[in-house]
Amino acid sequence: MSEKLIETKMINKSFHDPITIPILKDISFSIDKGEFVSIIGKSGCGKSTLLYILSTMDTDYEGELYINNQLITGLKERELARIRNEKIGFVFQFHYLLNEFNVLKNVMLPGIKLGKYSLKEIKDRATEKLIILGIEDQALKMPNQLSGGQKQRVAIARALINDPQIIMGDEPTGNLDIKNTEIVFDIFQELTTKFNQTLLIVTHDIEFANRTNRIIEMEDGRILTK
Amino acid sequence: MNQKLIIDIAKSLLLARWRQTLVAAVGVTFSIMMFIALLGFMTGLNDLLDGLILNRTAHVRIFKEVKPNPFQPADNQNEIGYNFVNSIKPSGNGLSLDNTAAILSALKNDSRVLGVSPKVTAQVFYNVGNVDVTGVINGIDVEAESKLFHFKDYVLDGNYLDLKNVPNSIILGKAAAEKMLANIGDVVQVTTPKGDRQMLKVVGFFQSGLQELDKVQSYCSLSTTQKLLGKPVNYITDMSVKLLDLTLAPKVAKEYSALFDTDTEDIQTANSQFETGSSVRSIISYAVGITLLIVAGFGIYNILNMMIYEKMDTIAILKATGFSGRDVKLIFTTIATSIGLFGGMFGLLFGFLLSSVIDQIPFNTAALPTIKTYPINYNIKYYVIGIIFSLITTYLAGLFPAQKASKIDPVDIIRGK
Ligand SMILES: Nc1ncnc2c1ncn2[C@@H]1O[C@H](COP(=O)(O)OP(=O)(O)OP(=O)(O)O)[C@@H](O)[C@H]1O
Ligand SMILES: [Mg+2]
């Protein structure tokens, strides 16, 4: 018995600069809990655009978005921020760590923001996540002292800190070499199998995509296969 | 939790840019320092100048104007109709207040009154060789006049109490004494308008700071003056009343006028101009202080704008990981106000130090014998106003950049990579 985690109904989006061009056309699909889904498609077909909408950061679209059967479309900025904090973890192509804080603090920040656990518990949880990603020995370093692959793993640890319902990634391995890509993929794999983590990853890497549960292929702003 | 987190993030952003932060804070420190020093100095000066007037002016003066009696004997004959009497002249015992003992005891029992200093004024000529110089002798109750109107502060040489203790003594106006070549211990001769002569021993010099006044004014004890005029001990021409609350003066003056059937004058009417000068000086100080703060505010505005430009990625990731626009705005206003708080506190400290330095600078003026250095007002009020001003200006300076930061769309930033 599968449960829908994310569902979209007829999402359309256009950019109006300089002329109106439709980018996403009638996107209707859903992701179940525990699924490891990848999105592939040609450059410029709208993958990132879709991901930004699903992640609640982009609110300028038509149609409806549901997370946990709750209508997200039309919620206030603060409520969306809360949902991102609590339910969604992000990994971008670029790591986006905060250079003012050390690795551990970077991982902890979304947890402190959520305020569900005490500072001590958050610290323990962050260390736990770093252990899962095999970088607990880097905890007290500053982000600029890490390699690209290590940074990306810290970003994944940060995405995991609040035990999100779903982790979204926009080409999280795009900047990594084969070896590091392999490491990151194995981590994702482990997260789904071991922790039943739902994952939605945009990628250009067909190899990578083929090893996921389901591939969503996009072309020209539409979803081709289900 | 959230608040602590926001302060924590603000602090980290600040420390990452500590050099610029320092420049901004120094700007605030400088303006608050100048604000405090300037206001302390200006109000110190104000207090001094006000004191010149307030210290020595009666809150309510009770006296008798020389004027014709409105009730003429003819009115007794024809009480209802009109009586036409031409060329009425003043009469009676002239300047003396009636019933002085009763007035004094009434004043003593009035709880609003701090004290009363009775006075007798006598027109005299100082005899210098064969030249007569006009003058005025104020007969005073030395102790009351000292206690209420700081008489002793203006006595330059000699002991003011000698005026009471040495019979037939006089404290001469400084300029008058110079004219007469009189020294302490000398005996001068004065002549009353009625022709009586009196030898008086000089026991001190008086300097009011007003040259014209010091040329004519001298002081004797009440009894010496009464004797000089050949009047009894209840002869009093003037009573200077000091109240506990200065603002009651007009009301009390009116009341006494009716009660004692004499003329009265309150300090507000007598010196309506003195408040104008004070308020102008205060306005100047506030204007300069606020101008400096606004300049410092622009500095903070610039630095925050720059910081936000540099920290776009940080802002984007904070938002992507669940910080709301409001949180981001709070982070940047916290940065701004903490610059204001720390800069302002050092400003208060340095302002206090600068004030203390000004307070040490010698300031000697003939007009103010008791003042040796520049006057400074250390009123806590200006320090409170200073820190509040610095918080408000830095908050406002930070508000617009913070608003901008809170509106940053993380998608734009993330897409840009
Ligand atoms: N701010 C914008 N204004 C106008 N057009 C935009 C804007 N952002 C994206 N686009 C257009 O929208 C389309 C989809 O962009 P998107 O970033 O979603 O593509 P993508 O599938 O993620 O491509 P890639 O694989 O190269 O990352 C592109 O044609 C792009 O030019
Ligand atoms: Mg993309």
Q: Is A92 on the interface with B (CB under 8 A)?
A: yes
> What pLDDT is attached to residue B32?
87
For ligand 1, atom 16, the nearest C-alpha belongs to A46
Domain boundary, last residue among B194, B220, B243: B243
A65 phi and psi angles, rounded to 5 deg: -120, 130
Q: For residue range B100-118, what is the model confidence (pLDDT) as tens digits?
A: 888 888 888 888 888 899 9
Which residues from chain A sit within 8 angstroms of residue B417, using beta carbons?
A: 92-94
> What pLDDT is attached to residue B70?
67
Domain boundary, last residue among B201, B221, B243: B243
Q: Is A17 on the interface with B (CB under 8 A)?
A: no
Measured CA to CA, the distance from residue A208 to residue B250 in angstroms comes to: 94
> What pLDDT is attached to residue A133?
86
Which ligand is closest in space to the CA of residue A41? 1
> What pLDDT is attached to residue B348?
94
What's the half-sphere exposure (Cβ side, CA atoms, 13 Å) at B137? 33
| In contact, B60 and B243? CB cutoff 8 Å | yes
Q: Are B232 and B113 in a shared domain?
A: yes
Q: How far is A20 from chain B (nearest CA, A)?
A: 18
The boundaries of the domain holding residue A176 are 4-225
Sorted by sequence, the CB contacts under 8 Å of residue B123 that are 6+ apart come out as B134, B135, B136, B192, B193
Q: Are B182 and B115 in a shared domain?
A: yes
Other Cβ atoms closer than 10 A to B22: 15
Decide if pLDDT at B92 tops 70.
Answer: no
Q: Are B286 and B343 in a shared domain?
A: yes
Exposed/middle/buried for A61, CB within 10 Å: 0-12, 13-18, 19+?
buried
> What pLDDT is attached to residue A106?
94
Substitution site in A16, A25, A49, A220 for ligand 1 pocket (most atoms within 8 Å of beta carbon):
A49
- Tell me how many degrees the CA angle A164-A170-A175 measures, rounded to the nearest 5: 120
First to last CA, chain B: 32
Decide if pLDDT at B179 tops 90.
Answer: no
Decide if pLDDT at B80 tops 90.
Answer: no
Q: pLDDT higher for B369 or B4? A: B4
Minimum-distance CB partner of B417 among A77, A85, A94: A94
> What pLDDT is attached to residue B219?
92
Q: How far is B32 from chain A (nearest CA, A)?
A: 31
Highest mean pLDDT among A39-43, B149-153, B307-311: A39-43
Q: Are B126 and B213 in a shared domain?
A: yes
pTM given for the model:
0.74
Closest-approach residue (CA) in chain B for A102 = B12
> Residue B346 domain-assigned?
yes
Closest-approach residue (CA) in chain B for A93 = B417
Q: Are B385 and B295 in a shared domain?
A: yes
Measured CA to CA, the distance from residue B411 to residue B408 in angstroms comes to: 9
How many domains would you assign to chain A?
Answer: 1
Which is it for strands A214-219 and A36-41: parallel, antiparallel or unpaired? parallel
pLDDT digit of tens for each residue in chain A (226 aa)? 468 899 999 999 999 878 889 999 999 999 999 999 999 999 999 999 999 999 999 999 999 999 999 999 999 999 999 999 999 998 888 768 998 899 999 999 999 999 899 999 999 999 999 998 889 899 999 999 998 889 988 999 999 999 999 999 998 888 888 888 888 899 899 999 998 999 999 999 898 899 899 999 999 989 986 5
| In contact, A40 and A217? CB cutoff 8 Å | yes
Q: How far is the CA of B228 from the centre of ligand 1 (A)?
A: 108
Closest-approach residue (CA) in chain A for B323 = A81
A75 phi and psi angles, rounded to 5 deg: -70, 160
For ligand 1, atom 14, the nearest C-alpha belongs to A46
- Which of B7, B8, B317 would you mutate first to test chain A, the one with the most A CBs within 10 A? B317
Cβ(A13) to ligand 1 under 6 A?
no
- Band (B77; pLDDT cuts 50, 70, 90): confident
> Residue B37 domain-assigned?
yes
Q: Are B216 and B309 in a shared domain?
A: no
Q: Are B138 and B98 in a shared domain?
A: yes
- Band (B90; pLDDT cuts 50, 70, 90): low
Q: How far is B310 from chain A (nearest CA, A)?
A: 12
Over chain B, what is the mean pLDDT?
85
How many domains would you assign to chain B?
Answer: 2
Q: Is B407 on the interface with A (CB under 8 A)?
A: no
Atom of ligand 1 nearest to the CA of A49: 18
Sorted by sequence, the CB contacts under 8 Å of residue B77 that are 6+ apart come out as B83
Q: Output the domain CATH number for residue A181.
A: 3.40.50.300
Q: Is A52 on the interface with B (CB under 8 A)?
A: yes
Which ligand is closest in space to the CA of residue B416? 1
B112-146 in b/e form (b: 16+ CB < 10 A) is bbebbbbbbbbebbbbeeeeeeebebbbbbbbbbb
Classified as helix, coil or strand, B211 is helix
> What pLDDT is attached to residue A22?
92
Substitution site in A12, A17, A45, A52 for ligand 1 pocket (most atoms within 8 Å of beta carbon):
A45
> What pLDDT is attached to residue B94?
62
Give the pair of three-digit tokens for residue B281.
């000086």
Decide if pLDDT at B216 tops 70.
Answer: yes
B322 phi and psi angles, rounded to 5 deg: 115, 10
| Tokens 């990132």 -> residue | A48
Q: For residue range B332-372, what is the model confidence (pLDDT) as tens digits?
A: 999 989 999 999 999 999 999 999 999 998 887 766 666 78
DSSP per-residue string spanning A42-84: -TTSSHHHHHHHHTTS----EEEEEETTEE-TT--HHHHHHHH
Q: Are B235 and B340 in a shared domain?
A: no
The conformation of residue B153, written as its DSSP 8-state character, comes to: G
The boundaries of the domain holding residue B317 are 3-54+274-416
Q: Are B239 and B278 in a shared domain?
A: no
Asked if the Cβ–Cβ distance from A82 to B321 is below 8 Å, we say no
Q: For residue range A151-161, what is the model confidence (pLDDT) as tens digits?
A: 988 999 999 99
| Tokens 């020294």 -> residue | B183
Least confident segment among A85-94, B65-74, B150-159: B65-74
Q: Are B145 and B209 in a shared domain?
A: yes
- Which of B15, B321, B407, B415 would you mutate first to test chain A, the one with the most A CBs within 10 A? B321
Q: Are B164 and B306 in a shared domain?
A: no
Asked if the Cβ–Cβ distance from B321 to A101 is below 8 Å, we say no
Asked if the Cβ–Cβ distance from A81 to B415 is below 8 Å, we say no
Alpha helices in B201-273, H assignment, sequence order: 211-216, 222-229, 249-260, 267-270
> What pLDDT is attached to residue B97?
78
The pLDDT of B63-71, averaged and rounded, is 72
For ligand 1, atom 30, the nearest C-alpha belongs to A44
For ligand 1, atom 11, the nearest C-alpha belongs to A44
Decide if pLDDT at B417 tops 80.
Answer: no
For ligand 1, atom 25, the nearest C-alpha belongs to A43
Decide if pLDDT at B91 tops 80.
Answer: no
> Residue B356 domain-assigned?
yes
